[in-house]
Amino acid sequence: MATRLKKEFPSLEQLDTSRFPGGLRTGAQFLASIKNDGRRVYHDGEMITDVTTHPAFREAARSIARLFDVASDPANRELMTYTSPTTGKPVNRIWQIPYSIEDLNLRRSALERWSEETLGFMGRSPDHVAQFFMGFATDIETMSRGGANPYAENIIPFYEFARDNDAYITYTIVPPQIDRSKPAHQQDPSDSYAGVVEERADGIVIRGAQMLGTGAVFSDYIHLSTIHPMQSGDEPYAISVVIPVNAPGVKLYSRRSYAAGANSLFDYPLASRFDETDCLLVYDDVFVPWEHVFAYRDLEVVRDQWWKTPAHVFGNNQAQTRFVTKLRFLIGLAYRIVKMNGGLNAPPIQQRLAELAIMCGTYEGLLDGQIAKAKPNHNGVYVPDRQIMYSAMNQQSIMYPQILDIIRDLAGGGMIQLPSSVNDFANPEMAADIRKYVRSPNVKADDRVKFMKLAWDAIGSEFASRHDQYEKFYAGAPFIVKMHLYRNYDFKKAESLVDKALSGYGMNGRCVDLNLAENSADGICPDCSCGMR
């Protein structure tokens, strides 16, 4: 079906190149492409059509634009790009399919460079979902299910289009929290979850809602699917499609923007720039052409796209690269707090800093390990080690709140006893008192307040609280994340050591393989330290 329909309707290039210049995008080109483009974002009781100028979203949009500038900067050409095999032009390395460990390390360097621009606080930047589509494209065998899913042939053309046009894709793959005791098809009403309500000759029509559309207000496309388990009867919801964010019928309901509540960049330096926001997306009879469909009414493919292709591994390897940058930033905050307060030489303080270093160093080691132990799949694509990757994923939700608590201990009341806003410095009387009493021996009040405002926005503000929750649940509920590791840990190898131990002795306490002892020069078993003759 997919091949026939693709011949009858416009190609992806004909449909979409009006939004993309081709090749690497600059920040200005990105902002121009999402400005007044027909997307409908709802926030604080109003519909917003231009997220590039509205104060709730403007600075985050500029932060994302900065990522495109970094990637397209000729000075970063070797670090941030590689050559497209279809166009011969430089394209963003976030799309690079790794065929060696060297490729994985090159990819990691590019991902790390981008994460440094946002200090690790933008979890759904353009490099995240790009990894999932790279994973889908590297295992068409799984996606096609032995030919049973003809829509899989749409994946590589879309991947190549997104790669060669520097597209920004986010996703909504979790159904709303309406009634978790019932499967999708038993929800009331039946269109509570996003699913197919009509099939047409040229495509399908989607109705319902899906969450969490983190970063969706800034993206070009939404990947709509589900990562939750489904069962027989859920076929209308078992889809994997892409939808332009500005498609008719797409509505984005943003949570409260922390940037909108920030009175100044000085007082909220992180929230004002890096709040990517999270959205409930409502699909109100949204048409999807067949060429944007990758799975249709297929429970098996929709499940396997995450767990049998490398998509989930690549996506979370990117997330963990970002997380390492965030941990470095946080430990830098902790070290600066201690140094500023004059406590750096105190052994108890050094011990607390060491606890942070243990967690940060351990996590970075897990990232190193999953790349070092990467193996090629059946198509020669090098995939990070799943066991180590899922170990890191479980550590993430454990470490993050512990790290925040240690920094709170080190900061004490310093993050709380701060001027109400930067405007306090404009009042001569207030400024004089602040500069006298809110300072450190080697740090003047203006710089101390600036730094502690930064620390508060990372540790204690509403923006910080959202990140605490985000790092705990971005990959799913903790029990789900533990099950990922359970399925991927090599228990057989561990159990084989138990068998080895049991096989080395018998009921009489003597070495089981007596022939070893009999054939040795001194009559002592050479294969163990039992000393048996």
Angle at 521 between CA 520 and CA 522, to 5 degrees: 95
Using DSSP's 3-state secondary structure scheme, residue 490 falls into coil
Whether residue 280 is preceded by a cis peptide bond, meaning omega within 30 degrees of 0, is no
The residue to which tokens 């030919």 are assigned? 147
Using DSSP's 3-state secondary structure scheme, residue 365 falls into helix
Rg (CA), the chain: 27
Chain segment 42-65, per-residue pLDDT in tens: 999 999 999 999 999 999 999 999
Using DSSP's 3-state secondary structure scheme, residue 308 falls into coil
Q: What is the pLDDT of residue 369?
A: 96
Chain segment 120-140, per-residue pLDDT in tens: 999 999 999 999 999 999 999
Per-residue pLDDT for 477 more than 70?
Answer: no
The answer for residues whose C-beta is within 8 angstroms of residue 127's C-beta and 6 or more apart is: 94, 110, 111, 114, 318
As a whole number of angstroms, the distance between CA 199 and CA 170 comes to 25
As a whole number of angstroms, the distance between CA 204 and CA 193 comes to 16
- For the entire predicted model, the pTM comes to 0.87
Helix-then-strand count for the chain, H and E: 21, 14
Query: Which domains occur in the chain, in start order?
Result: 2-305 (2.40.110.10), 311-489 (1.20.140.10), 495-533 (no CATH)
Q: What is the pLDDT of residue 6?
A: 41
Per-residue pLDDT for 19 more than 60?
Answer: yes
Find the distance separating the first CA and the last CA of the chain, reported in whole Å.
74
As a whole number of angstroms, the distance between CA 324 and CA 267 comes to 25
Chain segment 93-109, per-residue pLDDT in tens: 999 999 999 999 999 99
Using DSSP's 3-state secondary structure scheme, residue 250 falls into strand
Q: Which two tokens stand for residue 386?
A: 């799943």
Per-residue pLDDT for 479 more than 80?
Answer: no
